[in-house]
A and B are shown apart, each in its own frame.
Chain A
Amino acid sequence: MKNLLSAADLSKSQIVSLLDLAHEMSDVNDREIKKLPILRGKTVVNLFFEDSTRTRISFELAAKRLSADVINFAAKGSSVSKGESLKDTAQTLEAMGADAIVLRHASSGSAYRLAHSGWVDSVVINAGDGSHEHPTQALLDAMTIRESLIENPIGSDLSGKRVLIVGDISHSRVARSNLILLQELGATVATCGPATLVPRSLEPAGGIFYSLDRAISEFEPDVVLMLRIQNERMEASFFPTEREYSRIWGMNVDRLGRLKPEAIVLHPGPMNRGLEIDASSADSERSRILNQVSNGVSIRMAVLFQLLSGEKESA
């Protein structure tokens, strides 16, 4: 594995070993010195063409915990605003010695383009490309589900677990990566949302639901993954009003009470409180939203370690 571009790049055994590795990495947080020396002398560039708080900080922290040097690049305030292309920007950064490029871009397929066009030799990690994929988010969601629902998580997959993904499936890279990765791990996945935002072409094994109430009673999920309504990716109106969305597809205390007793709620953040999830559900004991954030650092440490340590595979 040279790059991480899509959740589909990973086999089941690779995913399980990444999750196990991330589990080991999470112990670093409890140590006196929260740092490992493995990536000393390597340079990781966070190349972010889209706004992001948690993904960028999470990658930055992960790289720093592994002793790599980190450069944060945001398109705003850089030469990109003067019209520099992705190719020139990436080549410039590599000429300065970047070993890995973590790319967040609004265009689907940009990470694949960067990795396969011969522009750069460095490792490319997809940190979200348009409405295509966000593989490290799916990995951290899988890790959170595994640690919340399985007693001895090490070495285990997610077979038998039922995951409901709710919201804007069409525009969501989080949904796409999760569908691929969670199903590879053996989970049964269903989608739920307004008919305008749930593509029929994706046919998850658990089915498609158009009402959250029906999905909860008929699908009986162990995990409900609420997606963010992404106003920046919506050119048309896909649902009448925010109030209606929240009434039919939003997570609230009443629906929370109808879930199985051990069921958990995830949200990739940032949350629109009051729209797809209300404040009391977001802060409830079923919510694993903060676990997702801390697992994100461990997952990204595992990914960086896996891709940057060890001998270079001869091409």
Chain B
Amino acid sequence: MSKRTVLSSDDIRRAITRIAHEILEQNRGTEDLLLLGIPTRGIQIATRIAEVIKEHSGSEVSVGSIDVTMYRDDLAEQPTRTVGVTNIPKTGVGGKTVVLVDDVLFSGRTIRAALDALNDHGRPSAVRLAVLVDRGHRQLPIRADYVGKNLPTALSERISVRLSEVDGIDEVVIED
């Protein structure tokens, strides 16, 4: 099994900084902005984006998480999955610009599930998608608004995003 690092810790930091700036620019500030990470690693990425936004604009952005396990379309084919944490800030999602944050965008099915989950929490004024890595092979008509890095991959390859909060190291590796 070969393994190569495609994003180093510096690359990840730069990608997250750029995403944060793009979000700020498109949203014209931090008003009504809500970042929702998809467990597990989407949460850490969302938190890091919020930190960069705070550094540059001085204002606090709400961060939460939204678990999609119970909205997946493959529950019947897979062994029972562990349910992650959903933590929507008290102000709710209604009327907010929600940015969904995930580590890897692949088939698009996780994001479809996240959109369904979000729907049950209220009606955001807009929903956007930020991902650290877009590896292609979409099975649904979904695209990301903010992409850290486009990585064309083969279907057989595995992409692992490792973050220091969870894995002790910042890197993105491809294994096949």
Q: Does A254 contact B (CB under 8 A)?
A: no
What CA separation (Å) do A309 and B71 show in the bound complex? 12
The contact size tier of chain A is 10 to 19
The CA-CA distance from A37 to B77 in the complex, in Å, is 16
Cβ proximity bits B32-46 to A, threshold 8 Å, 1 near / 0 not: 000000000000000
Most buried by A among B76, B81, B116: B76
Known contacts A37-B71, A38-B75; is-contact A310 B80 (Cβ 8 Å): yes
Contact B78 A310 (CB under 8 A): yes
Would you give the 0/1 interface string for B84-123, flagging 1 where the beta carbon is closer than 8 Å to chain A?
0110000010100000000000000000000010011110
Interface size, B (range): 20 to 34
Interface residues of A (CB under 8 A from B): 17, 21, 24, 27, 31-33, 35-38, 305-306, 309-311
A37, B78: Cβ atoms under 8 Å? Answer: no
Contact residues in A for B82 (Cβ distance below 8 Å): 17
Tell me, in angstroms, the Cα distance from A21 to B70 when the chains sit together.
12
B: residues with CB less than 8 A from A are 67, 70-71, 75-83, 85-86, 92, 94, 116, 119-122
CA of A38 to CA of B113, assembled, Å: 11
The one of B75, B81, B85, B120 in contact with A24, judged by C-beta atoms closer than 8 angstroms, is B85
Q: Which residues does chain B contribute within 8 Å of A21, judged by CB atoms?
A: 83
Let me know if A306 and B75 touch, CB within 8 A.
no
Main secondary structure of the interface of B (DSSP, over half): loop
How far is the CB of B96 from the nearest CB of chain A, in Å?
13
Contact B70 A36 (CB under 8 A): yes
The contact of A37 among B70, B80, B94, by CB within 8 Å, is B70
Tell me whether B79 and A311 are in contact (CB under 8 A): yes
* A306 & B80 in contact (Cβ 8 Å cutoff): yes
B83 lies within 8 A of A31 (CB): no
Q: Return B81 CB to nearest CB of chain A, in Å.
A: 8
Give Cα A33–Cα B119 distance, bound, in whole angstroms. Answer: 9
Q: Which of A17, A33, A305 is within 8 Å of B120, CB to CB?
A: A33
Task: Give Cα distance in the complex from A31 to B122, angstroms.
Answer: 8
Instruction: Name A309's contact: one of B76, B86, B120, B122 (CB within 8 Å).
Output: B76
**Closest Cβ neighbor of A34 among chain B residues:** B120
* B121 CB contact (under 8 Å) in A32, A38, A311: A32
Pairwise interchain contact A24-B78, C-beta atoms closer than 8 A: no
> Within 8 Å CB of B116, what residues of A?
37
